[in-house]
Copies of this chain bind each other. A is one copy, B any other.
């Protein structure tokens, strides 16, 4: 061994974290097993079937018949870039509804393209963008697309896709929807809601590891893609070329992350075995219990209107006098639970708790509330002992009674 060899770091031994962040969520155990399957070549005839399976399962998850439906070889932000770059052509104008960091990212990505004009229609963090503002901003202009985040992970807010679809129709614009935080966790139906481009991420309610961005685009977008004046500025994110690989032509484009495609397939199998409806219900039930617990502990939610709350990410106002970083650090050190803080204008003002995919479980909610009670008490916040866990248990009991009544009907 050389001297250099002595400095090689040791084997990987991660702490067992309970990830209640707004992504990544805990990975389904069966997905780890699938990733241990030996890789094959990306042009192997056997792999063709894997690709077909993933596309088939993604169509079920998105609820679409779109031909172009596949996972992009990039994180969710790569999905934003692919959506924006394939929709826009030289000289185009678009509207992005900005109400948080991820919807703002869509605007930032579009603004980087020379010759493109981006109109931002804004709402503060924790509020939905007014569709009428979108209409006013686009009136009399040729708008290529209206873009928005279905669920804005940075603030825990959800927007009604229908409202923006209506406005986009009035403007003659395409509708791009970021469902990174919602796909497989919150009701979504790409075909019925007539979303032209819809993308997501692998690491949230799907519960695969991060690294892939599922996307689907409809026939109207395919026409737009074929009628381009300039090629897509990014070769990597050019969906026409990528689809030559994912489509039945199977022409080589780039080498995809085989292991993550195995992971996507397995995670989507788990989604479909549970059924979408079952999964949506599970996510809603767990958030209801979480909210009941938080409110019983005397905490307030950042998003006031219950209808605007994103089911997968709950934003909590940090009580006066309590320090953000200390609480999160104690939760991590003492309970190995990770939650997230806010960023941008609400840094230090909110916590964000993700209950997504495999992480959205009763045991996790109860443990988190117990850990939070201990942590907040230690940090000097006065709260009724045991109230959070008790309220959550009651909420679960109520939910199971309601379900039983529903089943009897």
Give A residues with C-beta under 8 Å from B. Answer: 1-2, 4-5, 8-9, 11-17, 19, 21, 23-24, 26-27, 32, 34-46, 50, 53, 56-57, 60, 73-78, 81, 90, 105, 108-109, 112-115, 201, 203, 209-211, 230-237, 252-260, 262-263, 265-266, 269, 272-273, 275, 332, 338, 340, 343
B44 touches A259 (CB 8 A): no
Instruction: Return the chain B residue nearest A35 by Cβ.
Output: B35
Inter-chain CA distance A260–B202, complex, in Å, is 14
Contacting A112 at CB < 8 Å: which of B46, B234, B256? B234
B43 touches A332 (CB 8 A): no
When distances are taken between beta carbons in the complex, the residues of chain B under 8 Å from A263 are: 259
Contacting A269 at CB < 8 Å: which of B8, B254, B340? B8
Inter-chain CA distance A81–B82, complex, in Å, is 14
A211 touches B259 (CB 8 A): yes
Inter-chain CA distance A18–B172, complex, in Å, is 53
When distances are taken between beta carbons in the complex, the residues of chain B under 8 Å from A259 are: 35, 209-211, 259-260, 263
Interface centre among A233, A236, A256 (most CB of B within 10 A): A236
Inter-chain CA distance A26–B259, complex, in Å, is 12
In addition to A24-B258, A41-B340, A81-B236, 4 A-B residue pairs with Cβ atoms within 8 Å of each other are A24-B41, A74-B78, A75-B257, A234-B237
Given contacts A12-B50, A257-B209, A44 and B338 within 8 Å (CB-CB): yes
Inter-chain CA distance A53–B9, complex, in Å, is 7
B114 touches A115 (CB 8 A): yes
B37 touches A12 (CB 8 A): yes
Instruction: Return the chain B residue nearest A114 by Cβ.
Output: B114
When distances are taken between beta carbons in the complex, the residues of chain B under 8 Å from A13 are: 37
A109 touches B235 (CB 8 A): yes
Inter-chain CA distance A347–B8, complex, in Å, is 43
A210 touches B258 (CB 8 A): yes
Inter-chain CA distance A273–B8, complex, in Å, is 8
When distances are taken between beta carbons in the complex, the residues of chain B under 8 Å from A16 are: 38
B9 touches A38 (CB 8 A): no
Contacting A73 at CB < 8 Å: which of B12, B35, B75? B75
Interface centre among A34, A53, A233 (most CB of B within 10 A): A233
20 CB < 8 A contacts A-B? A8-B273, A11-B269, A12-B37, A14-B39, A14-B46, A14-B50, A19-B40, A24-B42, A45-B332, A73-B75, A76-B254, A77-B254, A81-B234, A81-B236, A105-B235, A114-B233, A210-B255, A210-B257, A211-B211, A233-B234
Given contacts A8-B272, A75-B73, A343 and B252 within 8 Å (CB-CB): yes
Inter-chain CA distance A273–B1, complex, in Å, is 7
Inter-chain CA distance A260–B203, complex, in Å, is 13
A255 touches B203 (CB 8 A): yes
When distances are taken between beta carbons in the complex, the residues of chain B under 8 Å from A45 are: 332
When distances are taken between beta carbons in the complex, the residues of chain B under 8 Å from A338 are: 40-41, 43-44
A236 touches B41 (CB 8 A): no
Inter-chain CA distance A180–B50, complex, in Å, is 26
B27 touches A14 (CB 8 A): no
Least CB distance, A109 to chain B, in whole angstroms: 5
Given contacts A53-B9, A114-B115, A256 and B210 within 8 Å (CB-CB): yes
When distances are taken between beta carbons in the complex, the residues of chain B under 8 Å from A265 are: 9, 12
B4 touches A254 (CB 8 A): no
When distances are taken between beta carbons in the complex, the residues of chain B under 8 Å from A234 are: 81, 112, 233-234, 236-237
Least CB distance, A115 to chain B, in whole angstroms: 7
